[in-house]
Structure formats: structure tokens, C-alpha cells
Structure 1
Amino acid sequence: MTQKISFWGLGVWCLLGIAGAQAQTRPSDGARALPVSTRLGFETITLPGDEAMGLLGGSYLMEFAPGWLGGPAVYGGATGHRGGFFVGGAELAYRLPLASRVRLEVGLFAGGGGGGGAPVGGGLMLRPHLDLLWRLSGPADGPGVWAGLSASSVRFPNGEIRSNQAGLVMAVDGDFIYTLPSAVGKSSSIWGRGGMGFDRISISGAVGEPRGDGRQQRIGLAGFRLDHWLHPNVYWGMEAAGAAGGGAGGYAEILANLGFEQPIKGTPLAVGARTALGLGGGGAVPTDGGLLAKAGISISLHLSRDFFVSLEGGTVNAPQGAFRARYAQASIGWDLDHPSNAPAALGRLSPRSWIEGMEWNLALEHVDGAARKTGPDKSMQSVGLVLRRSLTELLYLTGQAHSAFNGDAGAYSVGLVGAGVQSPVFAGRWSVGAELLAGAAGGGGVDTEGGAVVQPMLRLNLDLGPQSRAHLGVGRIRALKGGLDSPVFELAWGLAFGVPAR
């Protein structure tokens, strides 16, 4: 059975990101509010043999022209018997208002993925859809909450899945607050959250010890998490992780979190607890339909104002399957924003408000001669989402997710995190850079064994305009234990933003 790992939890950062996290700004700041729509939907698709699989999907769409929206999207198996099925890609949609409280949306999703043994072929998935939505709350001319019905068709052109179905959809409209990249490094009087509204990111490694079934092996996981503070002690967020060791190469999980954290007065320590619910599977881990629940307690140590480390322990369970495990996790985190520093009213400037750089990229990759578990080496192509956040003018952090859509590797995905350096711009528009990435990969019959991979990359960058960027990358992806050791060629297009930080 073909299994996979998916780090399209990066897409899910966008999926349930705080779309309504709006910032009040002064016009002199040059701040802009880009309308966005965060969408969540559910439908049941039919696989060959009349097998039913519940498909949960989400997207984060930006309005780049009147009525036109686009952005990343991710779909995952939630019911049935295909736990570990994930597909990530991009969505394009057109919105047509029909009345003050009714609108029609037509869209097309295209992406790559698979898993859970589903007959996806090379992995390319197309999903045209038509949605009818009613406004549940919010002003007629502003952000609001919408719900309605969806009619869609799911197709894997080089696989065996062809399904037409109806479903449910919910959308939350909001604003993505940003400035032009030329403002990066400057002070600002923007006092609200910018960008997607998340406040911190954590990169983690975990060990899971299955219980009750001696046939299950210990699982090593690599992943990351994004949090948004709802209250000085309460947060919610998203996390994604995949197998990077042990006997479950191809396992992945994507979860939504709700947590509590209490600083210990007079110390740099904090204690906390959280629960999480989402999707997981692959790597022969018995999650059945794919639902996954997690609960844990933690202790954190702040090394500086913005950086911290934490230890966490708890349990994870698959309500529909036999998977039960204890886990221990270590994380290092970075505070992107400090909402407690925000002024109480507009007009009071935060003394630590400035603009940092962020870039979103849609990437196409060619992996040359990827080693397979059986049969000869074969090249494959993937589609990916690449996010970058600047630390300094020349140094940045990056998170990436790629899933195969061609090359007989439909269930293959890779998730990477790392750091990069970039030269100053020369000849008006050009720059060069280098990245060192590490993460987890697997599925599609690609020989990654335990799942851990490293990927160094060199990049040539071209500024196409105030926000538009093009990137050409060359590098190599190597599995630490498996046979994958192949050149990587990447072509990417991205949008750059300036986002406020405190």
C-alpha cells in the first residue's frame, strides 16, 4: 500500500489563519488591507469500488483583483479508511454577489498528493467547484461569516478517482494587513497584527511510543506549529508533523490546537497545557479514517525576548483506528509578534513597532532520477508552497511543503524548514542566495526509508516589481537513510510583503 507524508500543514497555516485579524492603521504608515477569505469545507467522494471517503478541505484566498481570489489550499481524508490521504496546491476563484446576503463562487483547485493507498496515479488532482453562500454575520459591506452548499468534481487525471458530489462550505472574510517591501526595517505606528495574524512559530522534534500493539514501532517526528494569542494566557494554532525516523516512513499529521500557558512570576519559565484535533495517517499507522486527537502538558524557557525552548509530553489517539501512543517533544520557538505590547487606543505608538519582510512563493520542482523502493530510478515533478520570514536584511527563515503531481509518485510529499542568506540587490533587480533545509519526506514508493532528508539549495532571484519576485533554484535532496540522493531544480514565483512586528 502506498503511503505518504504531507507537510501541507503549511497550507493549513493559511487554511485557518486569523483571517479576521484586522489592524487599525494610520494612512501615513502606507499600510494596506488586502481582502482575504478563509474557507473550510467537507464532502464525501466516491473511490473505485463505491468506497466512500470523507474529504476535509481548506484554503486561504486573497483578492488580487475585483472579484478574483487565489491562494494555497489543502485537502485531507477525514472519514472512511484512507487515513494519510493529503493533497496540497493552489485555488483560483471568482466571486459573484447575487444579493446583499447571498453570493456565488466558482473556482478551480489544482495540486498534487495522495496517500492512504488511494489510486491517485501520478498525484495530480483537479477540483472544479460551484459554491452558493449565505452571510451569517457581519456588515453587508465588510468582513463576515458565510456558510452554504458546494457542488464539485474531484478528478485525478492520471489515476482512477473520478467523483461528483455535493458538500458543505464555510468562509470567514477578513483582511491581510501589510506594507510594500520597501518599508521593511522602518518603524511603524501599525499597532494591530499584520499578515496572517499569527504570533509565534515553533520547530519541533518528537518521539511517539505506540501502546497496546507490539507490532507498531517507535515513531520519530519532525514538524512545526503556529500560534495566535486569544488572551494573555490562551492561544490557538495549527501544527504539522511527519515521520523522520522509526518504522513509520510516510506518516503525517495536521492538527488545530487550543492551549493555555502561564508564566512563572520572576522567572523565564512558563507551564502550559494544550489539546489538538485534526488529521493523520500513512506509514502503516492504523488511524483508519484519519481523525487524530492529542493532549499534552509543557514547560517553556525564554532564552531572550523573542526566542524560547520547550518540552512537552502527552498522548495521541486515533478515534476511528487502533493507534494509541505516548509522545515526548522538544521545540525551539520564535515570537513573531508581541500583542501585549499593542497600545490601548489608536494614536499611541508602540515603542517596538517595526516592519519585517515576508514572502509567499508557488514553486514547481523537478527531482531528477529519484530512487524508488522497487524498480529503476525515475524523475518526478512536484508543486509546493514556500514561505520566508526575514530575521535581518540578509538572513531569513523558511518553511516549505511540496507534493508530487507527476512521475508515478503520487503519494510523495516533503516538508522542510531551514534558514537562508541572500545578497544585497545588484544590477538593479538581481540577487543570489543559499539555503540549508531539513525535514521529512516519503510516500509514492520513493526510497526515503525513515523519512529524514536534507536539502541544500542555491538561488538566483529577480525582482519583477514592487512585490513580485521570481526564483530559480538548484540543489540536492538526500535521505539520511534511504536511497534518495538526487538533484533538484526549482522555478518559483512569489509575492513579498512588509508586516508589522512588536
Structure 2
Amino acid sequence: MKKILFALIFSSQFLIAQTEIVPEKKTQRAFAKIDFLSIEMPDLKELNMGFTGIHYNLMLNDWSYAGLGIYGAVTGTRGGFFTLGVNAGIKKYFGKDFYVDTGFHFGGGGGAAAPDGGGAFILPHFNLGYNFNKFSVNSGWSYVNFFDGGLIKGHQVNLGLEIPLDYDYANYEISENEYDFTALKKSDWNINSKRISLLFHVNNLKIKGNTQGINNGKTIRLAGFELASYLSKNWFAFLKVDGAFDGIKAGFMDVFLGGGYHLSFNKNNTNILAKFGAGAAGGGGIDTQGGFLIYPDISIEQKIFGDIYIAINKGYIMSLNSHFYTSSYGVGLKYYIDRNGIKADKKYASGKFKGFEVITKHDIYFNAKRDTGIEQNMHQISLQINFDLNKNIYVAGQTSFANFGNAGAYGEGIVGFGARTNPILKNKIILFSQALAGAAGGGGISTGQGLILKPSAGFHYVLNNALSFRAAGGYIKAKGGELSNPFLNFGIKYHLSFLKMN
């Protein structure tokens, strides 16, 4: 009898312990924003440049926010003009639905032979907004100034649309911890899961039309990624970013935002996806006029193993007046994830917390070689996103734009893998190395047709549960160009983990 009683007590304590160790589900308030402003160009005979941005901001408290944003030209004559930057601001309500939003954006970029100088610019704003519950709109004054030798500056009215996009997460240090379905069912994670997919692909654009001069008939080869978030079982929204690495002079890139429909058959082993997107593209000597393009596409995917599929796509990328018109086709690998909830269409036995990192940093390229043969230091603002494969190996994607050093149109889009040590020195220091490769060009930097290799190594210093200081050094080499030099970078890493169902 005593043995039975002891076994029951031990079992109950074990079950309680299992329930208690499931990490706390935290929620970060956040919002996405799309804005538009019409920028007056230095040459008054030139059409205004329509500048549209996509931002994601985290609420730091009830009244302040910070985040990241990317801008691209969509009207005027500067198609291919892109920037990347950081946001910070104050959002204060007066009354129930009206609010004041004041803040600034600092970034770097340029393109399309524009007078952007080194690429560094500021964009402060003061807006009034109204909240419609599911979304909000705002408008007001803004000022843009490409202050590092650029000539683009002036005041303008801006318009914005904001959508709440909160997310659930857990602390980063519990990443790779796995919990069975029974324990998760008794926790705060017993909610509907959210599906996302990440596609890494190589795409080809066959240029058509005699408006493209020497590029007519050429094939642009691009590498990039596509992130999709499912709104329901079949409907999804996506963000697609590509950069050219072969076929034309380096510098062409595109950014598309859109939606699509997903149809599965063959016991969910085969998918057909129809997509439509709109966005900005240009650079590399390609004339996209104002830069606004549309992107209809159809893809077929076949399961390889687990949640990994091979994807083949066929579509078109074109301007509304068909001045720029291309056939698009490509191939890639796609990874599907059901996250942050145990209620899903598929049956799962457990869930594992996976690490996710967002890094904002400043790069310094020493003596970056130009097409003219001149060597000069170049600086750029950079965004890197890491997804942990396990405790020590991660896959990484990075985009960067020049902001000082007279190369404002230069940009990069690269992917690769990295490895890190376990924490050392009282769990404060983590060493890492990584190797990335992809597309780069513009700004007169000698990258040939755009393919670059970029190995580096460095360290993280842990500041708290969410933030670390990061520094690294490495070497960049352009295949087919003269860019071949060392670099240093430093910045801030934001890290968290999310629940992935297994």
C-alpha cells in the first residue's frame, strides 16, 4: 500500500512539474505600416518620385514604438530606387480613436542614377490618425533629406495605413526545448496555430520589348526569398524580395507584396498556388520608369520530406503600360511551419521552441573598389535574420544598403549558414562564424554581374533576455568584379523563440 501511495504521489508531482516547465507564452504588441509620399526632385523638370514604404514596428510601451522599414520608388522616373532604415516614434491617443504619431526614419539607399550622395537620409514625420479597430489611417507632414552629399530633400504630405500584427513568443534561452502534446495542452499554447512558409529560390526574368536597349532579350538571373503568412487554410499574404546576380550589370532588385490561394491534393503532398503581387523594381540599367510593377504567378510544389517542398513557378512581371515586360520562371525550396499553437489541421505529437534572431547593424567596407578604379571606404545599414536549425547551426538572410561613402545606390541580398558556440564567460559571450553569398550591385561599386561571397566571424554579448550587442569582421569578394576587401560591422541583435509543432 505504501509503495502504491508513493507511486501515485510521485506521478502527480511529475505531471505537475511537466505542466509548470512549459515556457510562458508572451505577446508583443506590434503593427505593420504602408505609407506613401511624393518627393520633389532637385531638377524641377523631373516628375516627383512616388516613394512607398513597408514597415514593421514593435510597441515598446503604451505610447512609443521602434522598428524597421524598406522604401521603393513606384512613380516618376526613378524605378529601382530602394532604401532600408530604422523607425522610432511616439503614438499618443487623445479621445477614443484619434491619435498623434510623431517620429523619424533613418536609413540608407538610392539608385536609378539619382542624386542620392552616399545614401544616408532622414525622414521625420508628424501625423494625425484615426483608428478603425481592424486598421488605422494617418496623414501629415514629413521631410526627407539625403544629407551625405545628396541633393534630394524637401517637405511633403505623407499618407499611411496601419494594421495590428501582434505575435506570441517565448524567451530565447529555451530554444530547442521540446514538450509533448499533453503538457502543451495544459498550457497557454493550447490555441490555434498560425502557418507560415519560407521560400528560397532562383528566378529568371526574360526581358521583352525594344524599350530596354542593350538589355532587350537578355535573361536576368535573381536569387531571393518569399515569406508567406496564411490568413486561413487556403488564403495567404506574401512578401517577395529578389536581387540580380547574373545576366546584366549588377544592381537590379525587386520587392513585391501580395496575396494568393493555396490548393492541396495528392494527400497534401502536392500544392498549386496562384499569386498576385504589386511592388517596386529596377536598377542595373533596366528601365522600369517609375518602378511600379505587377506580378501574377502560378506555382506547383511537391513534397520532398517532412515540411520541405520543391517549388517551380511561372509568371510575369510588368509595368501597367507594358513598357517593362518580362516572363518569369524559377525553382526553389519551401519550408512550411505551424507555429505558436497546438491546434492545427495536421496532427502533431509534440512542439519544439525554435530560435529566431533579427540583427540591425552598420557595415564598414575598407577601400571598396569602384568601377572607375577608385578605392574609398563605404558604409551601409544592414538587416540580417537568422533561423536556428539547432542550438549551434542557423540559416541566415541579409539585405543591406549603402548610407555613407558616395555609393548610395549600392545594395545586397545574400543568404547562407552560420555556426555558433554555446555561451561562455558567465553565459555572456557567444562566438560565431558564417558564410553568406548572393547578389549585390549599384552605386558604382565593382561587383561585375552581381554575385558576391561574404564570410565573417565575431561575437555576441548578451545584454538581457531579448537583446545582445553584436560585432564581426570578415571579407567580401565579388565574382567577376574588383570588389575584394575586408569589412567590420557592429549592431544590435533581437532574439526570441517560437513554438514549432512537430
TM-score normalised according to structure 1 size: 0.88
Query: Per-residue CA shift, 1:7-51, capped at 9, x if unaligned?
Result: xxxxxxxxxxxxxxxxxxx99741111111211111111011223
Deviation at 1:296, TM superposition (A): 2.2
- Residue in 2 that maps onto 1:157: 147
- After alignment, is 296-305 or 118-127 more displaced? 296-305
Matched, 1:185 2:176: yes
- Residue in 2 that maps onto 1:79: 75
- Residue in 2 that maps onto 1:269: 270
SS at match of 1:117: coil
Matched, 1:97 2:93: yes
Q: 2:31 aligns with which of 33, 37, 44?
A: 37
Matched, 1:500 2:499: yes
Deviation at 1:269, TM superposition (A): 2.5
Matched, 1:170 2:161: yes
Query: Per-residue CA shift, 1:248-273, capped at 9, x if unaligned?
Result: 42111000132223223247332332
Identity rate of aligned residues, in percent?
25
Match of 2:174, as an amino acid? A
Match of 2:499, as an amino acid? P
Query: Are the counterparts in 1 of residues 195 and 336 from structure 2 also a CA contact under 8 Å?
Result: no
Match of 2:138, as an amino acid? G
- Residue in 2 that maps onto 1:293: 294
CA distance in 1 between partners of 2:233 and 2:342 (Å): 11
- Residue in 2 that maps onto 1:8: none
SS at match of 1:182: helix
SS at match of 1:84: coil
- Residue in 1 that maps onto 2:246: 245
Aligned pairs for 1:33-432 within 5 A: 33-50=27-44, 51=46, 52-136=48-132, 138=133, 144-158=134-148, 159-186=150-177, 187=179, 188=184, 189=187, 190-191=189-190, 199-213=196-210, 215=214, 216=216, 217-266=218-267, 268-320=269-321, 322-337=323-338, 342=343, 351-428=349-426, 429-432=428-431
SS at match of 1:97: strand
SS at match of 2:350: coil
- Residue in 1 that maps onto 2:468: 469
Query: Are the counterparts in 2 of residues 288 and 321 from structure 1 also a CA contact under 8 Å?
Result: no
Query: Are the counterparts in 2 of residues 368 and 488 from structure 1 also a CA contact under 8 Å?
Result: yes
CA distance in 1 between partners of 2:350 and 2:286 (Å): 46
- Residue in 2 that maps onto 1:7: none
Query: Are the counterparts in 2 of residues 61 and 69 from structure 1 also a CA contact under 8 Å?
Result: yes
C-alpha change, 1:155 and 1:237, in structure 2 (3 Å) is same
Query: Are the counterparts in 1 of residues 436 and 455 from structure 2 also a CA contact under 8 Å?
Result: yes
CA distance in 2 between partners of 1:69 and 1:263 (Å): 39
CA distance in 1 between partners of 2:232 and 2:94 (Å): 38
Query: Are the counterparts in 1 of residues 191 and 341 from structure 2 also a CA contact under 8 Å?
Result: no
C-alpha change, 1:234 and 1:340, in structure 2 (3 Å) is farther
SS at match of 1:65: coil
SS at match of 1:299: strand
Match of 1:34, as an amino acid? Q
Query: Are the counterparts in 2 of residues 207 and 220 from structure 1 also a CA contact under 8 Å?
Result: yes
CA distance in 2 between partners of 1:69 and 1:192 (Å): 27
SS at match of 1:149: strand
CA distance in 2 between partners of 1:248 and 1:161 (Å): 25
RMSD over aligned CA atoms reads: 2.2
SS at match of 1:199: strand
Deviation at 1:71, TM superposition (A): 0.7
- Residue in 2 that maps onto 1:20: none
CA distance in 1 between partners of 2:191 and 2:304 (Å): 25
- Residue in 1 that maps onto 2:15: none
Q: What residue ranges of structure 1 are gaps of 5+ in the alignment?
A: 1-25, 139-143
CA distance in 2 between partners of 1:362 and 1:192 (Å): 32
Match of 1:109, as an amino acid? H
Deviation at 1:170, TM superposition (A): 1.2
SS at match of 2:231: strand
Query: Are the counterparts in 2 of residues 248 and 285 from structure 1 also a CA contact under 8 Å?
Result: no
How many residue pairs were aligned? Answer: 466
CA distance in 1 between partners of 2:358 and 2:318 (Å): 34
CA distance in 2 between partners of 1:327 and 1:499 (Å): 34
Q: What residue ranges of structure 2 are gaps of 5+ in the alignment?
A: 1-19
